[in-house]
Amino acid sequence: PGAPADRPAEAGAVREDRLLALARRRPLALTAAVAVLYALPFALARLLASPSLGTDDVNENVLTQSWQWGYTARQPPLYDWLLISLQTVTGPELPSFLVIRYATLILAILAYAALARHVLRDRAWAVVAALSLTLVYQIGWLQHQVFTHTALVVLAVPVCALAALRWLERPDAGRAVALGAAIAFGFYAKHSFAAFIGTFLAAALLQAPIRARLAVRTAPLAVLAAVALYLPYALWLAFGGQSLLQQVENRLLTDETYRERVLRGLLDIPLTVLGFLSPLLPLLVVFFPRAFSPKFARAASGEPDFARLFRDQALFALALMVVGLLFFGVGVFKESHMQALFLLAPLWLFARVEASAPSARRVRLFVRLVAAAALFTFAVKIGAFVWKDRPFCTPICRDIKPYDRLAEALAQRGAATGTLIGGDEYVAGNLRRLFPEARVLGLRMSYFRPPADPARQQVCLLVYDSGPDGSRPPPLDRMASEFGPAAPAEGSAVVAIDEPWSRPFGPAGWRTSHWGIVALDPAGEACR
């Protein structure tokens, strides 16, 4: 992409010309190849760094002990179903999470490129737009270490938008059913997908050419397919004993006064949106300022304008946040919640950039920056795994925390075939990894209780993090309030385990984790 004039002679010009030709000839193949080459080093580095599970993964690892129509009203079950299926091969260990994390990322980038082909005239720009998703912090940085259900939303949004555009171009029955399946996929991925569907439909209704196509006879097929596929989980939500509304209130409402919430929220909303699109948006403005000049406008036509559709969808998303703040008490706005609302906004930005006909030199510099940012991110992630301390990770560094001595001590006490209660979700999720045949419960996860098994009730152990100095008492009161009473077994005492950390450079034991183990009466309610 870019104007052909003023191309400087340089050693890599021929190679770049070949890549440009390939991008125009085989955009999806090139995007897929680059996405795989991008993802594999991150996955391999994480696999070699530590087998421990970190944020988000630990909760899901506890839930995968049984097949259910639903696990918690807070999240739909699709991620857990995929994880359970994969863990029949890998076991409840880190590789299962990495496969889903990077498979969804690769597919999301590929779907984004396919979607961009419907918006951008030059196929090479579609490749650039898709790969530039790595300049969105929530994707290019955080998705390497957290996100489970959110990773599915990052895939579901471009897949659903692509299915919608394909149906608008040729509204036959097959594409209508495919659109319905894509919508159901999004709803099974994360509840926030509903906000995307609402804002996308509202934006579509603004354009007369799109409104005319929405009235075709196959439109009800898409709705019927989506409803039929989503119905099992919808019934579970309705009759499963958990309140989705209560979960939403707990996550999004605050105890502030209305005035305090509005004043803070009106500042948080623009900062959150800008933060989600950063550093991509600021970099596009710096590299291609003409595209964002108020005087610059793309030529209009009588056909559906998909770039405008994505712009309007983002504007409706912004309006939805303001309405939620002013009228429904929503006071929490996080960048990590914005994938369903603003993931397609970069396509409108790139449409403006393409229409501004930037010089080839500017485009080459931007593409090189995308590559350099990926290399920088990889270097920092490697640093976190090698150094295992500040400034590369927080002082806790949960995803590289060792559990070896704890596993040995638990194995000696029959944990492999017993009931294990983790003092928090991090302990519980890693206990499930260490003892896949055990029955594992987690404090702070009282909404899920795996099926009882008499064969796994002979041994019942409470395992907890005893704090930075090992003096924290066992959380027996909290356990009783969440799972019912279970007194320590007769004659038992807290077993203290000290777990020294190690790293490739420097002496072992530079940091120590402290664990406590309490043997519980297997007849207690918590153990049953």
275-290 pLDDT tens trace? 999 999 999 999 999 9
In total, how many domains does the chain have?
2
CA distance 22 to 29: 9
Q: Does residue 136 form part of some domain?
A: yes
499-517 pLDDT tens trace? 888 777 767 667 888 999 9
* Burial classification of residue 9, based on how many CB atoms lie within 10 Å of its CB (0-12 exposed, 13-18 middle, 19 or more buried): exposed
Q: Do both 328 and 459 map to the same domain?
A: no
Mean pLDDT of the chain, nearest integer: 88
**What is the percent of the chain with per-residue pLDDT over 90, rounded to a whole number?**
55
Looking at the predicted structure, is the pLDDT value of residue 179 above 70? yes
Q: Does residue 84 form part of some domain?
A: no
Q: Do both 350 and 440 map to the same domain?
A: no
Residues 6+ apart with CB under 8 A from 245: none
- Collapsed DSSP state (helix, strand, coil) of residue 514: strand
Q: Are strands 460-465 and 512-519 parallel, antiparallel or unpaired?
A: antiparallel
Helices (H), 64-207: 78-90, 94-116, 123-131, 137-140, 149-169, 173-189, 193-205
Q: Does residue 76 form part of some domain?
A: no
CA distance 404 to 402: 6
* The pLDDT of residue 85: 96
Q: Do both 454 and 307 map to the same domain?
A: no
Comparing CA positions, the residue from 498, 499, 495, 501 lying closest to residue 415 is 495
Q: Does residue 334 form part of some domain?
A: yes
Looking at the predicted structure, is the pLDDT value of residue 330 above 50? yes
Q: How many residues does the chain have?
A: 528
Angle between helices 94-116 and 345-355 (to 10 degrees): 40
421-475 pLDDT tens trace? 999 999 999 999 999 999 999 998 888 888 877 877 788 899 999 888 888 888 8
Q: Do both 341 and 425 map to the same domain?
A: no
Q: Do both 201 and 233 map to the same domain?
A: yes
227-236 pLDDT tens trace? 999 999 999 9
Sign of CA dihedral 323, 328, 331, 335: negative
Q: Do both 288 and 188 map to the same domain?
A: yes
Q: Do both 323 and 434 map to the same domain?
A: no
Q: Does residue 4 form part of some domain?
A: no
* The pLDDT of residue 185: 97
Tell how far CA 129 is from the center of its chain: 20
Q: Cβ atoms within 10 A of the Cβ of 391, count?
A: 9
* The pLDDT of residue 112: 97
Q: Does residue 386 form part of some domain?
A: no
Q: Are 426 and 513 in contact (CB under 8 A)?
A: no
CA distance 361 to 351: 18
* The pLDDT of residue 251: 64
Model confidence, pTM:
0.91
350-386 pLDDT tens trace? 999 999 999 989 999 999 999 999 999 999 888 777 7
Q: Do both 483 and 368 map to the same domain?
A: no
Residues 6+ apart with CB under 8 A from 375: none
- Output 48 or 81, whichever has higher pLDDT: 81
Q: Do both 374 and 409 map to the same domain?
A: no
The first and second tokens of residue 186, run together, are 């999004």
Angle between helices 123-131 and 345-355 (to 10 degrees): 140
388-435 pLDDT tens trace? 667 777 667 788 888 988 999 999 988 888 899 999 999 999 999 999
* The pLDDT of residue 5: 45
Looking at the predicted structure, is the pLDDT value of residue 298 above 80? no
Q: Are 304 and 168 in contact (CB under 8 A)?
A: yes
Looking at the predicted structure, is the pLDDT value of residue 294 above 80? no
* The pLDDT of residue 522: 84
Tell how far CA 459 is from the center of its chain: 36
Q: Does residue 87 form part of some domain?
A: no
Q: Are 244 and 237 in contact (CB under 8 A)?
A: yes
> Which residues face 473 on adjacent strands?
none
Q: Indicate the DSSP class of residue 92.
A: S
- Output 522 or 314, whichever has higher pLDDT: 314
Q: Do both 359 and 457 map to the same domain?
A: no
Is residue 6 very low, low, confident or very high in pLDDT (cuts 50, 70, 90)?
Answer: very low
Domain range enclosing 414: 402-527
Residues 6+ apart with CB under 8 A from 22: 30
Q: Does residue 78 form part of some domain?
A: no
- Output 455 or 167, whichever has higher pLDDT: 167
Residues 127-136, mean pLDDT to the nearest whole number: 96
Looking at the predicted structure, is the pLDDT value of residue 9 above 50? no
* The pLDDT of residue 320: 95
**What is the percent of the chain with per-residue pLDDT over 70, rounded to a whole number?**
91
Q: Do both 365 and 270 map to the same domain?
A: yes
* The pLDDT of residue 89: 95
Q: Do both 229 and 271 map to the same domain?
A: yes
